[in-house]
Structure 1
């Protein structure tokens, strides 16, 4: 009987041992694919199947379980598993470092500091541990030193799953990534244990209120995992992260690109940023000038962990010339989720710099020598959890971000933030002179402080740019098919919030352009003093566009002798040319033409706003005018009496040696 009991006990132990080994084998297979959630399930089973007397194995399996929990942000579970690894005398001192990391996230700063010190006794040169100790010792003080940010959970955007990486497109659309049930596919993600993420979009209604997220039905969503998107400055190109699934290959991320046509997005294509096909690429961000794509990668040549890199966007929308941002931005830890404010400030999240816990948000500014200076955003924008994925509402220090603070599952949610500050802004409009807005226009902003920005205007031709006091700026409005318009600007006010308004009327290259208020002495070709003021604006325009030649055309109404009107209009055109030459414009750039009554005015759509009795396309000929009431006849005659210029060439002096 006794021998039978011994056999049964030994058999049970063998079954436990075989079961544990089998669970470990499955866990390692999942781990090789980067499926941390699935691996954690197996390591947890293996740990429970390992007898307490097997202290070495219990310690190893507790540590492996803790690592999986840490990777999927199960902070409390990871902390418990690391403590078990310590209890079973896990052989590597790294367990104290990661236990301290989890304790810091759980606001247990005293024990976190203690375990950082234990680890540093073994690895005194470890920079991450030194920064962790500094963080644990200072976290309470940092929390008391409020940054002034107002932070609020934005329930309209959130679900019962993860919602993260918000990104504004213009001021009326917000894209976000979410693992909510409406995401495509039914398969659970082996990394997180929930569905793969998809893109959702929120829009503002007619009252300016945000609506609930709706899944995007375009091709940018797939059954794979999508997240962390950004847009080019013109809003027509989208870059985003996609994690591909392959049951026989480790999980890796790529950056994809999609372009917008009307209201839909094209089928995405993978971006080939380097020749390295074994590394991951994620978290794209386009610089405000549209010339660089910033991204995150674990490829060799960095500072360690995940680093922020950048690659130039070439003229043909390809990529070339990869650069690591280096120190002080990158550390041996992880730097992720880069994003920009329109003024060029770079924001990113890091667990390698001293911080509250998890990922903290930092702001990097470049000085005149292109050197970076860093500033950690304070509490409550930063917290003990992971804080990342900022998006800004235009030039203002407000917007949205994501954080897993106060979530037991480690799931992310979207928060709003705002920091009251004094801002000087220029609100501008670019439009066709005598016409409407130019939504394809660009505005270049150059300042003597090193500012150099390229801005794509909105659909209504407007733009907003932040400026600094006591800086001399030049703003240049441009659009294909139109002449440039330049304005000098300086804001002398500091310490207040103020908006300046500038107009950028661009003359057409293909159509005659009216010169307002060019008047002549009665029945003469002599210019009035008021006319000289208006013509000086034309002098400025010609100086801003030095490669154009123009025709100056003078027109009369139909009253009077036709031959005399032709002669008088020619003399008046010549008077304008003489004034321009006297003002420094080269004679060969100017051609005076008197049209008399031969080219009556054609009514444009813009003219209807001032003269509602007219119709677009009507020609103000003598026959047309004589059918109108006397008052309207006089208005039409005054419209015909005009001086216009027309661009003849755009290559003047361009090819001369």
Structure 2
């Protein structure tokens, strides 16, 4: 054989092997990045692997995959490498909240692999819903439910998504939407990358998180930024003292001197944790990790919020003891400024899915949070719940246009009065291919209805009525009992509360206050919280009987209004007096 043909053949074989090596490296890199939950990099390399015949040499640069930390899953012989890569490409785009790309990837996968990837139809339907393709989405969800026989969370989620589509159609046509204006924040509050988790430090200073690149390398890192608002002009600066790791949602104490910050590692297992940083002049101290009571090892704690009275730290966590996934938790803040043992907000707020980003408005006594476990517009929706920590009411969806068919999360209001929805900021990816953006939401209340002058009526014939028993202006509600050290009503409390319900039903203009009182034992702040929570439990019961919420107010007095001494003259304990002081009262505010 001619020598030049041998050499040419060797070159051809070498080129083929080299190309095969590049292809193998692309697949290996994609799998490694996917195992590390770095879905952006995983998608890049799966695209290179699946489109290897397009010959884009530029894509071969920069190959530096992470070493896998997770053991490789046992290979399913029925699934080829290309099928697996296509599935994980679609999953990467879904987990990146990139529905346009995810739709394309799932459809390519489902062309020939419906039986091998049963969840692909479900996830495709979610992407179609996020893209506003409601008829296609409904058909895909219906097809998934027809073929999927396993009774698990995926089936429940698909059934809820069908209800979501019905809710969406109703919300998009509701007349109340005309009173809302939703606009994307402009200028420095908008950038390449994500912008989310806004919180007002004061009337002119906004703290938020952004992944905008700070250099020309295009690297996106979650960092905290301060925006100064002065007569429509907005300037921003990063918080340089807090660099060094990924950090997201933050909260500030009422005095403005302490920050609670969400932090996590950029690589490896991405469990988030909560830290504090204190203000020292014009700078912030290096963040300090909160105790293990908040940051359970092996789990995430994130998205903090401090109530305006400084009594509670609210946050989201997937730690044990919840309802499933991420839940809303709250922890009392002690006199030393340290959060105590967290309490789960309970089934009234949390679901088996995820609840995130709590915000509490003191003036409106309203919790706002995001959930993907309730019927809504789809993805994460914002919900409101009246009440206080320990006694939240059934949440209500904030509806369109505050919510959209994509993810809506992180709410903050600038005003703290009763019209707190007049000017707000939310984070949403509704108008982006991916990534959260800051949106300004304003609401103008509808004009009052035109009241027609009443037509003259004939004087009614007055029939003498028997005298009505006089109703006392105030009194103690007898036999209203609670669980020890809790606000939960015990059996037997209904009779006294039902008498109040009857009184309110008979006097339709009457407004009353329910006051909770404790004895002198325990700290003042604790007694105040417990008395308010107990009063709120009574209010919730009465509202549940059909009485309007604007006719009944809960108030906690703690131990500030004793009716008997808590101790005897010699200083010894007076249990009879303390028992009289532990009471629930009603007071008529308007007849």
TM bracket (short chain): 0.5 to 0.7
- For 1:197 and 1:167, how far apart are their aligned partners in 2? 16
Partner of 1:102: 127
1:53-75 CA distance string (max 9 Å, x none): x9843332111011111222222
Deviations 1:457-485 (A, max 9, x none): xxxxxxxxxxxx945599xxxxxxxxxxx
Per the alignment, residue 256 of structure 2 pairs with 235
Q: 2:373 aligns with which of 323, 337, 352?
A: 352
Q: How many Å apart are 1:156 and its aligned residue?
A: 4.3
Residues 118 and 357 (structure 1 numbering): CA distance in 2 closer, same or farther, change over 3 Å?
same
| One of 337, 344, 363 as aligned partner of 1:317 | 337
Shift of 1:81: 0.8
Q: Which secondary structure state, in structure 1, belongs to the residue aligned with residue 369 of structure 2? A: strand
The TM-score with structure 2 as length reference comes to: 0.64
Change in CA separation of 1:273 and 1:212 when aligned onto 2, cut-off 3 Å: farther
When residues 58 and 216 of structure 1 are mapped into structure 2, their CA distance, relative to the original with a 3 A threshold, is closer
Contact 1:336 1:350 in 2 (8 A): yes
Indicate which of 47, 51, 58 corresponds to 1:48.
51
C-alpha distance in 1, partners of 2:394/2:305?
19
Q: Is the 8 A contact 1:350 1:359 kept in 2?
A: yes
Within the alignment, does 1:180 sit opposite 2:212 as a pair? yes
Question: Is 1:57 equivalent to 2:81 in the alignment?
Answer: yes
1:166 is matched with which residue: 184, 192, 198?
A: 198
Aligned to 2:421: 397
Structure 1 position 256, deviation (Å): 1.5
- Aligned to 1:252, the other structure's residue is in SS state coil
- Unaligned 5+ runs, structure 2: 55-77, 448-476, 478-486, 488-509, 516-547, 549-559, 563-568, 574-591
Question: C-alpha displacement at 1:268, in angstroms?
Answer: 1.6
Q: Which moved more, 1:376-385 or 1:282-291?
A: 282-291
Q: What is the 5 A alignment of 1:119-130?
A: 119-120=144-145, 121-123=147-149, 125=151, 126-130=155-159
Q: Aligned partners of 1:238 and 1:367: how far apart in 2?
A: 23
The match for 2:91 among 48, 67, 85 is 67
For 1:238 and 1:260, locate their aligned partners in 2 and report how far apart those are by CA, in whole Å.
8
- Report if aligned partners of 1:165, 1:389 keep a CA contact under 8 Å in 2: yes
Match of 1:144 in 2: 173
In the alignment, is residue 214 of structure 1 matched against residue 222 of structure 2?
A: no
Cα distance in structure 2, aligned partners of 1:236 and 1:410 = 31
| Structure that is richer in strand per residue | 1
Confirm or deny that 1:78 pairs with 2:106: no
Q: Is the 8 A contact 1:166 1:414 kept in 2?
A: no
- 8 A Cα contact 2:348 2:392, kept in partner: no
**Cα separation, partners in 2 of 1:60 and 1:368, compared to 1, 3 Å:** closer
Q: In structure 1, what is the Cα distance between the partners aligned to 2:260 and 2:79?
A: 49
**Residue pair 1:20, 1:50 contacting (<8 A) in 2 also:** no
Structure-2 residue corresponding to 1:244: 265
Q: How many Å separate the matches in 1 of 2:15 and 2:436?
A: 40
SS in 2 for 1:321: coil
* Residue aligning to 2:33: 30
1:400–1:415 Cα contact (<8 Å) kept: yes
Report the Cα offset of residue 250 of structure 1.
Answer: 2.1
Q: Distance in 1 between matches of 2:401 and 2:31?
A: 39
Q: Give the match's secondary structure for 2:272.
A: strand
Decide which moves more: 107-116 or 15-24.
15-24
Structure 1 gaps, min length 5 = 189-193, 423-447, 453-468, 475-494, 496-543, 547-652
Determine whether 1:154 maps to 2:185: yes
| Alpha-carbon separation, structure 1, partners of 2:164 and 2:352 | 16
- 1:383 equivalent to 2:412? Answer no
Partner of 1:268: 287
Return the alpha-carbon distance in structure 2 between the equivalents of residues 654 and 226 of structure 1.
57
Alignment RMSD (CA, Å): 4.1
Q: Name the structure 2 match of 1:613.
A: none
Partner of 1:362 in structure 2?
383
Q: CA deviation at 1:331?
A: 2.6
Match of 2:327 in 1: 307
| Aligned equivalent of 2:445 | 420
Number of residues of Structure 1 aligned to a counterpart in Structure 2: 432
Q: Is the 8 A contact 2:311 2:332 kept in 1?
A: yes
Cα pair 1:104 1:357 within 8 Å, conserved: yes
Q: Is residue 203 from structure 1 mapped to residue 233 from structure 2 by the alignment?
A: no
Distance in 1, matches of 2:317 and 2:347, equals: 15
Q: Any idea what SS the aligned residue of 2:396 has?
A: strand
TM-score, length of structure 1 as denominator length: 0.58
**CA displacement at 1:8 relative to structure 2:** 9.9
CA change 1:317–1:283 in 2 (3 A) is same
For 2:351 and 2:190, locate their aligned partners in 1 and report how far apart those are by CA, in whole Å.
Answer: 34
Per-residue displacement from partner, 1:402-448 (whole Å, max 9, x unpaired)? 212111243423323335389xxxxxxxxxxxxxxxxxxxxxxxxx9
Q: How many angstroms apart in 2 are the aligned matches of 1:176 and 1:158? A: 9
Q: Which residue of 2 aligns with 1:509?
A: none
Query: Following TM superposition, by how much is the alpha carbon of 1:217 offset from its aligned partner in structure 2, in angstroms?
Result: 4.1
Q: 1:348 deviation in Å?
A: 1.0
Contact 2:168 2:377 in 1 (8 A): yes
Bigger radius of gyration: 1
Residue 167 of structure 2 contacts residue 375 of structure 2 at CA under 8 Å; is this kept in 1?
no
Q: Check whether the contact 2:345–2:389 (CA below 8 A) recurs between aligned residues.
A: no
Q: How far off its partner does 1:214 sit?
A: 1.7
1:65, 1:46 → 2: CA distance? 10
Pairing of 1:472-621 with structure 2 (within 5 A): 472=513
The secondary structure found in structure 1 opposite 2:264 is strand
State how far apart, in whole Å, the 1-side matches of 2:288 and 2:216 are. 24
